[in-house]
Amino acid sequence: MNITVIGAGYVGLVTGTCLADVGNDVLCVELDAARIERLRQGEVPIYEPGLKELMERNRRAGRLRFTSDVAESVRHGDVQMIAVGTPPRADGSADVSQVLAAARAIGQHMDSFKLVVGKSTVPVGTGERIRATIAEALRERGMPAAGETFSVASNPEFLKEGAAIDDFMRPERIVIGTEPGPGGERAREMLRQMYEPFNRHHDRALFMDVKAAEFTKYAANAMLATRISFMNELANLADAVGVDIEQVRRGIGSDGRIGYSFLYAGTGYGGSCFPKDVRALIHTAQANGHSLRVLRAVEAVNEAQKGVLVGKITARFGENLKGRVFGIWGLAFKPNTDDMREAPSLVIMRALLERGAQLVVHDPVAMDEARRALARLFEQRMALLDHVRYADKPMEAAAGADALVIVTEWQAFKSPNFNALKRALKEPVIFDGRNLYEPAIRQQGFEYHAIGR
């Protein structure tokens, strides 16, 4: 199939590359000409395991191409997949202006039937706005805007950063929302054909209407965020009553109705999806006269959880941290990504720096992104950044520190040489925000502070 992917960001690049890898002719369009040129040269602007190699293979095979020419991109694809950003507005709502701009461009340039697929995470009802935007652009050109001129579908992504290639190639489910009538039937057949290579073992496609598909994406992320905040609430109570939350996690996770996924206590969720999508769903409820009280609590718990580790640090060392040095392991919001968006590490580092601390930080891949994120965070107080030093190796971050603070659960941090770590630290104190170690580490002479342990 000829497929156009609009947007060469995280979702667009993974989607386009994976579709090209099963034999489709994919053209990715991005208005940033400089970015397109870098992609043509084989540069990958994001960190995602396996993506660079997969892109290179399909780029060399000619199945994956990049352009900034909108007219060319509309001509190319029978399927037009919109995978642009939907950043949060100040009120928490999702900004769909890029989605509608893409829809308008399709309407301005299309000269044959197009299946327009929403891949971006969008509020319920955006599909209708996409249809109206395309129809308006067609009418302005004096072309028919009804019947089978085009069809709109919703196909939300469920990609986990750090495992996106595997998620796309071996999906748990493929959610497809289509319109009623002949256009919707045509859309279902086209999408069934497009996803056939990913359905060989068993059919994973779940067909529904467009609004239900849009809602499903938000509902899924909201549920996962809820599980995280629920477990963090229990972990904080476990600390108060002297219970090991890991034992509790195993106890409740063994219940098949509950399961183990997303039940790990820690420093809260971050990234580009959960915070944004929870707020957007809360805003959608408000706009429709409802209050999602559970999700409001989920958001409040998560924001508070990012400060729990700071509370443990100040309880141990006092509010004035001037002269104290802390080694930080992990900066990205989760392992296997360099994404710093809403990362708990930013909240923790800010709190420590504002209290006068010196930080020596290390992350396997997110160092450059962390520098940029901290520069944005402290743009009015750049002098604080003089108190941050970047270490190439984990043990360098720990050397001479008053304590080690673990924020991201990278594999490389899970089994360090504890004897070497103890020698490196000024004091053998660990604040473990991801519960990587067992409390028995205290028997090796470490002062160990974890979440609910």
pLDDT tens-place string over residues 312-334: 999 999 999 999 999 999 999 99
pLDDT at 199: 87
The pLDDT assigned to 147 comes to: 66
Structure pTM?
0.93
Cβ count near 151 (within 10 Å): 22
CB-CB contact of 24 with 194 (8 Å): yes
Instruction: Summarize the confidence of residues 158-179 as an average pLDDT.
Output: 95
Q: Is 28 a catalytic residue?
A: no
d(CA 442, CA 328): 20
Q: Where do the domains of the chain lie, and which CATH numbers do they carry?
A: 2-218 (3.40.50.720), 306-449 (3.40.50.720)
Rg (CA), the chain: 24
- Is the dihedral angle over the CA atoms 304, 279, 434, 242 positive or is it negative? positive
**In the chain, pLDDT over 90 holds for what percent of residues?**
94
Q: Is the pLDDT of residue 145 over 80?
A: no
Catalytic annotation, pick one of 273, 353, 436, 441: 273
Sign of CA dihedral 394, 397, 401, 407: negative
pLDDT beyond 80 at 274: yes
